[in-house]
Amino acid sequence: MLQLNYIRENRDTVIERLAVKNFKDIGLVDELIQLDEQRRKLQNESDAIAAEANASAKQIGDLMRQGKREEAEAIKSKSSGYKEQVKQLTENLAGIESALHNALVQLPNLPYHAVPAGLTPEDNEVVLENGHIPTLAEDALPHWELLTKYNIVDLELGVKVTGAGFPVYKGKGARLQRALINFFLDQAGAAGYEEVQVPIMVNEASAFATGQLPDKEGQMYHVTQDELFLIPTAEVPVTNLYRDVILKEEQFPIMHCAYTPCFRREAGSYGAHVRGLNRLHQFDKVETVQLVHPDKSYAVLEEMSSYVQGLLQKLGLPYRVLRLCGGDMSFTAAMTYDMEVYSAAQKRWLEVSSVSNFETFQANRLKVRFKNEEGKMQFAHTLNGSALALPRIVASILENYQTDKGIRVPEVLVPYTGFEWID
């Protein structure tokens, strides 16, 4: 959530940056400023009347002690309306503050100055490409056919048990899945991330704090009876570990990793691009989260991007890094890098990771602060990155590593799988 004082003091900059993100309701900025002016005016009126009431009460007490009852009663009669005035102003103030909050949460985060303008994924900036795109045989199969050929993932069985988008991993498919999870967690631990196990359901306050509400309520599975939400990413519970916490500057950087299943409704998704493991309602993911000093967050963003790239390099998968344009960024992000792996059988790039800096946007909602060197309270910066989401990694491994003999397991995973081939 943006800070109101920043909006008030930097109106033109806010409007300019929101335009980069293609935010349409620009008039909301001036509405917020006007509501804030009303709020401050009412607050000043309320404070002034409350001060008068306190002063009158003190004066009445002094006069009564001096035996000047008539003078005290006269002042009491004159000030009798103060209580009702304060009550009315307080009610009006509550209404203004509610309207102010409801308007403020509709504003997305402002994009960082390095974010390119653009409307669609086609406008994203390719930062780099790495790795060799394999040349496959003419009869190479897309992963959804490989799943059936080697009996490692059963999509139809998942439909029977739950519905579309809930696959059942079997045999070597299940072991490959577990191997990737353990590999990613071990790599994160070696990089300094402390592993945590977190709930896979969160309450409304947690979903709001990281920006899933009110922006993405239609994309989350909602347990209505208990007002809980199945997590779309471990970022939500991990970041919320620090909600309403005052940190010490020397604690930075705070680094966590977590493995969780993730749940996304992906409403309206259909077509060839969602076949097989390309887009699921339930999937496994290892997430990395950092809370850092604001002065260092963009250096950390680059480090997190490099870390994810290192994982892809170790898996031997060709990839590219995109700097997302304003129109393709999430509601909460100030800047995002997407990592895409080339799927040789599908002949297209598949997003496997997003690494984002949220600056103070989440921290403001979380109320996670620290005392700076001057002793003043300041919001931390939060970042997160998928490291990595498994379905498309599995799809890319199956497609890119397929041979006449079977599917060769990437060398770094063999100690985890216990086998070199899926055949």
3-state secondary structure the chain: CCCHHHHHHCHHHHHHHHHHCCCCCCHHHHHHHHHHHHHHHHHHHHHHHHHHHHHHHHHHHHHHHCCCHHHHHHHHHHCCCHHHHHHHHHHHHHHHHHHHHHHHCCCCCCCCCCCCCCCCHHHCEEEEEECCCCCCCCCCCCHHHHHHHCCCEEHHHHHHHCCCCCCEECHHHHHHHHHHHHHHHHHHHHCCCEECCCCCEEEHHHHHHCCCCCCCHHHCCEECCCCEEECCCCHHHHHHCCCCCEEEHHHCCEEEEEEEEEECCCCCCCCHHHCCCCCCCEEEEEEEEEEECHHHHHHHHHHHHHHHHHHHHHHCCCEEEEECCHHHCCCCCCEEEEEEEEECCCCEEEEEEEEEECCCHHHHHHCCEEECCCCCEEECEEEEEEEEEHHHHHHHHHHHCECCCCEECCHHHHHHHCCCEEC
Supply the pLDDT for residue 37. 95
Supply the pLDDT for residue 213. 92
Q: What domains, with CATH codes, occur in the chain?
A: 4-104 (1.10.287.40), 121-422 (3.30.930.10)
The pTM of this model reads 0.90
Amino acid at 3: Q
For 414, the token pair is: 């063999």
Question: How big is the chain by its Cα radius of gyration, in Å?
Answer: 28
Supply the pLDDT for residue 56. 73
Longest dimension (CA), the chain: 107
Which parts of the chain have pLDDT scores under 50?
none
Supply the pLDDT for residue 271. 53
- Alpha-carbon gap, residue 143 to 272, rounded angstroms: 12
